[in-house]
Structure formats: structure tokens, C-alpha cells
Amino acid sequence: MINFNVPPYTGKELEYVSQAVANHKICGDGEFTRKCNAWFEEKTGTAKCLLTTSCTHATEMAALLANIKEGDEVIMPSYTFVSTADAFVLRGATVVFVDIRPDTMNIDENLIEDAITERTKAIVPVHYAGVSCEMDKIMDIAKRHNLIVIEDAAQGVMSTYKGQPLGTIGDFGAYSFHETKNYSMGEGGALLIKHEKDIEDAEIIREKGTNRSKFFRGQIDKYTWVNYGSSYLPSDMNAAYLYAQLEIAEQINDARLAIWNRYYERLQPLKEAGKIELPIVPENCVHNAHMFYIKAKDLEERTAFINFLKEKGVMSVFHYVPLHSAPAGVKYGRFHGEDKYTTKESERLARLPLYYGLTMEQVDYICDTVIEFYE
Ligand SMILES: *Cc1c(COP(=O)(O)O)cnc(C)c1O
């Protein structure tokens, strides 16, 4: 059986976790948390990276920092994970869903402006499969309408748009280190902060509304409760696990890209024969091989495809059921404009196994199986 996902493991994780334990620093913001934050700041050039307990929590922090309030509207795609919407719904905002582009499965940048009302506060682009949204256009709209941009870059670690790392283009960016992502700490995430002015507020919100971060840096002699907040910092043991992977991030990225490219090459003939569609990566985007998917003709063919692969010992899966069709989506959101592609394209998409450690022999077997299905 070839699993759909196996969490990344490099071999150094347990050593680093033991080190965190030996340091007697198993709570948050120890040595490994600092190392991870510094690694992302160095790698992406963001003003500040703060490790969090999840991408969901990083997005919640961004919603708090963006001062999202009851009655505000936030524009996002419906084809995304629930967390993208939850963070804003928790603040009392209404989610306004906009259709996606069929080529990248990302929000259609040309439909955003029409969805803006005087209540609109933010745009949340989701970089599906680690392939960037059309950020120049989105940032231009945001600038003209005075909106905040929060990138859901959960899948976009190590990807770029016109050379800029995903998560650093908008006002805030959220990464995920869930076990299904390219780099993992089990459960975890990070908030990337673009503007210096937001850093102190972010540190306070992350530390239960206290100025404890300043205290630890020796900038004040006692810490106190200064604002609302929550507990968004992960244990240093989890950060230690992640740091082992960051040390060889390029190697992991290359290995994933090699798998992605092999899928693409071997399945190209099926695409040329008009039997399936393959992912499209626009010219300005460098992706991180977060995901490899094919698109079948329709829902019926996809169901048969997934079942056939399963019989042959290959776990492939479908992805998001559009949020606007879910009970909470109906309650807290609305779809602006026509759902031309969101539902239709989501029903055609099937993801193939892709993880660090998947062998080329396994990839070839999966490709053989896909080809066999279409013969
Ligand atoms: C994985 C994912 C999330 C949630 O990440 P967590 O770290 O599990 O909270 C949010 N958005 C997208 C697009 C994701 O893929």
C-alpha cells in the first residue's frame, strides 16, 4: 500500500527534541523556536516571523491584528480549508467567496474588485498547491481600496512569486507545519509580519496579552497584562522537530520537485490525449511541489479513478468541498457572483501521493496505475 502522505522525517528530529528537553526549555520561545523564527526571517526577508501552534492560529492572530470586527467583510476563495474562513468568522466577520481560476485553482483576481463593498476589510488569497495567486493585481486592488491582505500560505513555504517568497507579499502571511505539509512539527504554523509597526502587538497577542516577549529581551523589568490576547506559541519540543527539517529544507524541496516533475513527465501523454488535465504553474511562480493532482472528466470519473487506484494499493484523495456549500459557509458567508469553476473543478480534482521519502519506483508504479486506468 502506498500512503497518500507520510509526515516528513529527516533523522535528526529526536536528537533536537532531546536537546530541548535537556535545556529544560519545553515551553515556548526557547532556543529552537528562536532558531526557526530566525531561519524564516533570513530565508524570506520578512520583518518578523513568529512560530505559532498552527496556521489556523497564525491566521487568527492576523485577523486580530487587522482589527477585523463584527459586520466586516473578508474576501476569499470558497475552494480552501475551513481555517481560512474560521479565523475571520470568529471575529464576527462575513466571508465573501469569489470564484477561482480553473488553471491554478486560486482566487480569480479579476473577480475580486466587484465583490468589494464599503464593509470590506481584507482579502485573503490562498496559494493552492504552493502555486502563487496573482499577487501584483491583488496588492494593487488592496492599495486602491485600502484593504489588508492576509496570505494563506499554509501550502506555500519555499514558493515564490516574481522572486518574492509567499507569505511576505501581503501585510501578513500564515504558514502551516501540520504533518501534511512540506515541513512539519506535528501541529504548528508561523505568522509572517511585513510591517515593523505590527510586531509588538503581535508579540503581545501571542503571549496572552502580555508584554512578556519584551521582558525576556530585557527591554522592561517586569511584564504585565497590556492587551487582549491568547496563547499562540508552541512548545520548544515541537520547534525542535521542525528545525531538523529546516536545516535540510532545500534537500526536501528538491526531492519533492523531482517527484512532481516525474509525475508531470510520465502523465503528459494522457494530457496530450485529452484524457486528463495536469497542474498549471504560471510563468512568474516558482512552486514547492506541495501537491500533485490530476483532473478527471467529472465527479463520476474521479470516483472511479480513486477506487481503481485504491484497489491497486495507491491512496489518492480528493480535496476541499467548497466552503459556500457547507452548513457554516451558508451561515457565515455568501458567494459573490457566479460559481462557474469552484464546484465543477473541485469535483474533478484527485491528488496523488507526494511526500519526502516516496521513491521513484513508487512514483512509477503510481503512474503505471494511472495510465492503466485510462486505458
Ligand atoms: C493546512 C492548511 C491550513 C491549516 O493549517 P493548520 O496548521 O492545520 O492550522 C489552512 N489553510 C490551508 C490552505 C491549508 O492547506
Minimum-distance ligand 1 atom for the alpha carbon of 155: 15
pLDDT of residue 285 exceeding 90:
yes
Span 222-234, pLDDT tens digits: 889 999 999 999 9
What is the whole-number distance in angstroms between the Cα of residue 174 and the centre of ligand 1?
Answer: 9
- Residue in this structure with the C-alpha cell 528530529, named with its chain if needed: 13
Closest CA to 252 of 283, 290, 294: 290
**Is any ligand 1 atom within 6 A of the Cβ of residue 44?**
no
Q: Which of 50, 56, 89, 90 to mutate to test the pocket of ligand 1 (most atoms within 8 A of CB)?
A: 56
Return mean pLDDT, the chain.
97
Residue 50 has pLDDT above 90, yes or no: yes
- The verdict on the CB of residue 78 being under 6 Å from ligand 1 is no
pLDDT score of 216 more than 90: no
Q: What gap in Å lies between CA 189 and CA 53, rounded to an integer? A: 6
The C-alpha atoms of residue 184 and residue 266 are separated, in whole angstroms, by 29
pTM comes to: 0.97
Residues 176-215 pLDDT 10s: 999 999 999 999 999 999 999 999 999 999 999 999 989 9
Check whether 274 has a pLDDT greater than 90. yes
Greatest alpha-carbon pair distance for the chain in Å reads 72
Q: Please, where in the chain does CATH 3.40.640.10 lie?
A: 13-246
Q: Are strands 292-295 and 349-352 parallel, antiparallel or unpaired?
A: antiparallel
What kind and span of H or E run contains 339?
none
Tell me the CATH number for domain 249-374.
3.90.1150.10
DSSP 186: S
The region, left, alpha or beta by phi > 0 then psi within -120 to 50, assigned to residue 158 is left
Burial class (CB in 10 A: 0-12, 13-18, 19+), 255: middle
Cα(352) to centroid of ligand 1, in Å?
A: 19
Residues 20 and 236: beta-carbon distance below 8 Å: yes
What confidence tier does 306 reach under pLDDT thresholds 50, 70, 90? very high
Give the architecture-level CATH label for domain 13-246: 3-Layer(aba) Sandwich (3.40)
All cell numbers assigned to 31? 532556543
Candidate of 82, 176, 323 to mutate for ligand 1, largest count of ligand atoms within 8 Å of Cβ: 176
| Distance (Å, whole) CA 137 – CA 114 | 14
pLDDT value of position 133: 98
Residue 10 CB–ligand 1 contact under 6 Å: no
Task: Check pocket membership of 238 for ligand 1, CB cut-off 6 A.
Answer: no
What does the buried/exposed string (b/e) look like for 88-123 if buried means 16 or more CB atoms within 10 Å of the residue's CB?
bbebebbbbbbbbbbebbbbbbebbeebbeeebbbb
For 124, other C-beta atoms within 10 Å of its C-beta total: 29
Q: How far away, in angstroms, is 113 Cα from ligand 1 center?
A: 26
Compute, in angstroms, the gap from residue 58 CA to the centroid of ligand 1. Answer: 10
The segment(s) of the chain belonging to CATH 3.90.1150.10 are 249-374
For range 252-261, the mean pLDDT:
98
Task: Give tens-digit pLDDT for 155-166.
Answer: 999 999 999 999
Nearby residues of 336 by Cβ (< 8 Å), 6 or more positions away: 75, 96, 97, 98, 111, 114, 115
Q: State yes or no: pLDDT of 25 exceeds 90.
A: no
Q: Is 81 in the pocket of ligand 1 (CB under 6 A)?
A: yes
- Report the nearest atom of ligand 1 relative to the CA of 189: 7
